[in-house]
Chain A
């Protein structure tokens, strides 16, 4: 912009705002802090904040604003060039294992549980899981609106060792790393991420897509999920609370994320990978982001005489979701087969029905949390369907999701009960695993 500016931020975000200024190349940006929050305060309270003290400095807010815009620059403020950044040394040690565990934990390089220490031999063994060179650049990753960090195949292998992965899982982890999607994301909403693995790789590396598929009962599922979190912290610099993470409550799903291997054999529908445009026989990952996942009640019992209305059950859970993040419905094969028997012979038919039958009033829509931030600006620009929705009378009903495409369906589980889970999760991207073999 090239003009003097003062940024006003609430005091809950002192560290994150200062870190953000550093990361954008203006470490001395003139920031002024007011008490948190400013939302829901009266004009008189705002007035008092302006005339009161900055909680970070103890100086008067309005005087700091005037100073920020008029006080002459220091030599530091005028500096050009580059901020000093240190390239991390490749090796750490020699040191005892206890001290290394403590160092990794204290540095924020773990999920605060003990890790497998990545010795040269263990990393060398891990690299046998790919034909790619250890020095090859894989991609860039950031856990928010920050400049992304770069990393090589070897760095992915180091994090894979730490998570307890086997070499055969490495191509899956390289595909995740290539996507650049961090499993931990800087948002006050404490977002979570999900991964769906499709294709032959699931069986090749022994992933669980049967009984207990989404639980901690299998090394491949567990280590892939954990490695994603470790990669996010270490390759994307994500999850540093107060610096690159501002989730208000945090989310336990960030420990090892939502990991789903599709049960393609028992699914009556086409696998997700094929839906995403890949060939049958390709191994791919698909990534999702959102608020979390909920379990539905499922059938009264398998084989109950009255056919369960899974479509209505799913819809009632979707009624609690924000349309901004779509929906990822995770059906046990029993549910999927029953839905097919009820006429939903494709996933698209079910998505269409759910889109049409999961509605809200225009009044509720306009008041919804993410609508003000994301849909209202689109409506202002005349983008449909948002522009039309904003013109509707308060009692008119509108779909909770903008399009049937926002509702995706996958199948996993062991058919011990006809149950499903529904994630308030939005599709991000799919990446080939095969190219990383």
Chain B
């Protein structure tokens, strides 16, 4: 069963006014909400900043030394830079070369100075007398 309640005309008119007022208030709230949510906040604004990075130096490429076809008959230096354990590892590599490249001349050297220091004298010796070098860092 449907109940239809008819309101008097004056009442309807007043009620329409109320609906209109409520609707316009609602529209205003929606507008404000939309405006607030779509307005760019300080966080959303795009800014430009300066790059904090310094300038890397130009790095000259060092062409690698030509390789011999084999190590037979060559002088191979085994260089321990003296960081822990490097010498033992080099000795194990030397053992293999002694067995497998019998004609190679194997030379063991400890680099002078601390592990992070240059040893120009040794590099000059290898340049003059050596054909190749195996350098172990250890650790």
Contacts and interface: CB of A to CB of B under 8 A. Distances in A.
The answer to whether A and B belong to the same complex is: yes
11 contacts: A1-B123, A5-B133, A6-B133, A6-B135, A8-B93, A24-B59, A80-B61, A96-B45, A100-B47, A120-B50, A373-B83
Interface in A144-181: 145, 147-151, 154-155, 158-159, 162
B109 interface: no
Given A5-B132, A50-B89, A50-B92, A147 B59 contact: yes
Contact of B139 (A22, A26, A38): A38
Interface string A74-100: 000111111101111111111111101
Interface string B34-77: 00000000111111111111111111111111111111000010
Nearest to A23: B59
Contacts of A23: 59
B50 A39 contact: no
Given A29-B64, A90-B50, 17 more contacts: A2-B65, A5-B133, A8-B134, A40-B85, A50-B92, A69-B67, A73-B64, A85-B58, A92-B49, A94-B46, A96-B44, A118-B49, A119-B48, A120-B48, A150-B54, A373-B114, A377-B113
B133 A149 contact: no
A4 B66 contact: yes
B49 A234 contact: no
Interface in B89-139: 89-93, 95-96, 112-117, 123, 126-127, 130-139
A37 B44 contact: no
A94 B50 CA distance: 11
B17 interface: no
B61 A81 contact: yes
Interface in A103-156: 104, 109, 117-120, 123, 141, 145, 147-151, 154-155
A70 B65 contact: no
A230 interface: yes
A91 B85 contact: no
B133 to A, nearest CB: 5
A90 B51 contact: yes
Interface stretch (A41-49, A206-214, A218-226, A327-335): A41-49
A233 to B, nearest CB: 8
A189 to B, nearest CB: 12
B101 to A, nearest CB: 9
A297 B12 CA distance: 88
A308 B96 CA distance: 64
B112 to A, nearest CB: 6
A301 to B, nearest CB: 46
A2 B127 contact: yes
Interface stretch (A9-17, A276-284, A342-350): A9-17
Contacts of A91: 48-51
A43 B88 contact: yes
Q: Which 10 A-B pairs have the closest CB atoms?
A: A39-B85, A38-B85, A39-B84, A151-B54, A94-B46, A93-B48, A46-B92, A235-B54, A149-B54, A83-B59
A34 interface: yes
A4 B68 contact: yes
A94 B55 contact: no
Contact of B50 (A12, A118, A141): A118
B139 A158 contact: no
A234 B137 contact: no
Nearest to A187: B116
A43 B88 CA distance: 7
A66 interface: yes
A118 B49 CA distance: 5
A113 to B, nearest CB: 15
A6 B64 CA distance: 11
Contacts of A374: 114
B50 A85 contact: no
Contacts of A372: 82
Nearest to B42: A97
Contact of A98 (B43, B51, B96, B113): B43
Contacts of A39: 84-85, 138-139
Given A13-B139, A28-B64, A41-B85, A3 B48 contact: no
Contacts of A70: 67-71
Contacts of B63: 77-80
Contacts of A393: none
Contacts of A151: 54-55
A25 B62 contact: yes
A100 B126 contact: no
A117 B49 contact: yes
